Amino acid sequence: AAADKGGWSSFMAKEVAEEPDAVAKTVLGRVHDGQIVIPELDGMDELFQGVSRVIVLACGTAYYAGLVGKYALEQWARIPVDVELAHEFRYRDAIVGPDTLVVSISQSGETMDTLMAVKEAARLGAKTLSICNTQGATIPRESDAIVYTHAGPEVAVASTKAFVAQITALYLLALHVGRVRGALSAEVGVEAIEELEALPEKIQWILDNEQGRIEQLAHWMTDTRSVLFLGRHVGFPIALEGALKLKELSYIHAEGFAAGELKHGPIALIEPGQPVFVMVPSPRDGATLHSKVISNIEEIRARGARVIAVAEEGDAAVLPFADEVLRVPLAAPLFEPVLSVVPLHIFAMGLATAKGLDVDQPRNLAKSVTVE
């Protein structure tokens, strides 16, 4: 099996290293003359023009990709989006009809909870579109349309490269639907495509420049009993993903919170020494979100939290308050998640590795859960 890992210590190490490629290959062949072209969606313009809402259904990491996708679909396609755990949707007598587009997200395309939810949505008359990483899997076969992610086979149980590919596919879908619905200007579209195409190199920068430091930090933290993750806007789903990955791989208690929710409860958890990862939005984006997150950092710092900030290169405002700063390259706000998640994947993998755990096969988990 060592050969299959291509010299890497684990499939996960290999798959994290492939994150730039997973994004690049998902975009490849889908940009022509400054526009997104998704050949698989040919002939679907009328459907996209006719739907009045989108429901995204998924489980696990794919669900967090969906939460990021909501921001992109609402901003670029100006269509209301709900994101729901597939198993919760399935049994709640959802109000869904022919004007609803259900977008399912699944790496394997075999997750039973997601499959059953898609079937239920179709039974209620919704149109279904599958974002999937596995050619010919059951969920895409049961759907009206398919957009494949091209992350390549993912072997490690916990998802990494498929996650960045799923978010990328949602960007492509949002830009495409936005144009078809006349909601997206050519100019914004072109800028977004430039950002999209720059992502692989920026992820690579994180792997080349920050991975060693992050692994060192993880090594120092092997005795940690609990880690919190805070984020706002698109940083919120990334906080959730960072916490999930840490639970899955290292068996450490971890929780993700919306930074704005801190004062409504979670701040009670902060005691001296409590490690908290904070996803810091870019200071260039109108500065509001950035300054709100900086105040959150001050609040938890004043109570003794150990702050690990994931912040844009050059953002000096975080320095006085953060114990550690993990840097990511500059990107437009909607694209930040694809970068800021990378340090969290490296951290979770690094911590589990430092604890001597099997990062590819965490206890109690299966790669694809084909039972409800």
The nearer residue to ligand G6P, 10 or 111, going by C-beta atoms, is 111
The nearer residue to ligand G6P, 248 or 336, going by C-beta atoms, is 248
The nearer residue to ligand G6P, 62 or 73, going by C-beta atoms, is 62
Contact residues toward ligand G6P (CB under 6 A) are: 59-62, 106-108, 111, 114, 157-159, 365, 367-369
CB 180 to ligand G6P: min, Å = 26
Handedness of CA 235, 236, 238, 242 (dihedral sign): positive
CB 160 to ligand G6P: min, Å = 9
Residue 176's alpha-carbon distances to 34, 140, 147, 180, 183, in angstroms, are: 11, 19, 12, 6, 10
CB 217 to ligand G6P: min, Å = 24
The nearer residue to ligand G6P, 76 or 229, going by C-beta atoms, is 229
In degrees rounded to 5, what are phi and psi of residue 327? -95, 140
CA gap 324, 316 in Å, rounded:
12
The nearer residue to ligand G6P, 111 or 282, going by C-beta atoms, is 111
Q: Which of 5, 292, 355, 367 is catalytic?
A: 367
Closest C-alpha to 266, from 308, 227, 225, 320: 227
> How far is C-alpha 246 from the chain's CA centre?
14
By Cβ distance, which residue is nearest to ligand G6P? 60
Q: In what order do the strands lie in the sheet with 306-312?
A: 253-258, 226-231, 275-279, 306-312, 324-328
Residue 327's alpha-carbon distances to 72, 82, 211, 290, 306, in angstroms, are: 23, 31, 10, 15, 17
CB 89 to ligand G6P: min, Å = 14
> How far is C-alpha 114 from the chain's CA centre?
17
CB 100 to ligand G6P: min, Å = 21
Q: Is 202 a catalytic site residue?
A: no
CB 16 to ligand G6P: min, Å = 14
The nearer residue to ligand G6P, 116 or 183, going by C-beta atoms, is 116
Q: Give residue for tokens 């700063």.
A: 325
CA gap 160, 370 in Å, rounded:
20
Q: Give residue for tokens 């078809």.
A: 180
3-state SS class at 133: coil
Cite the active site residues. 367
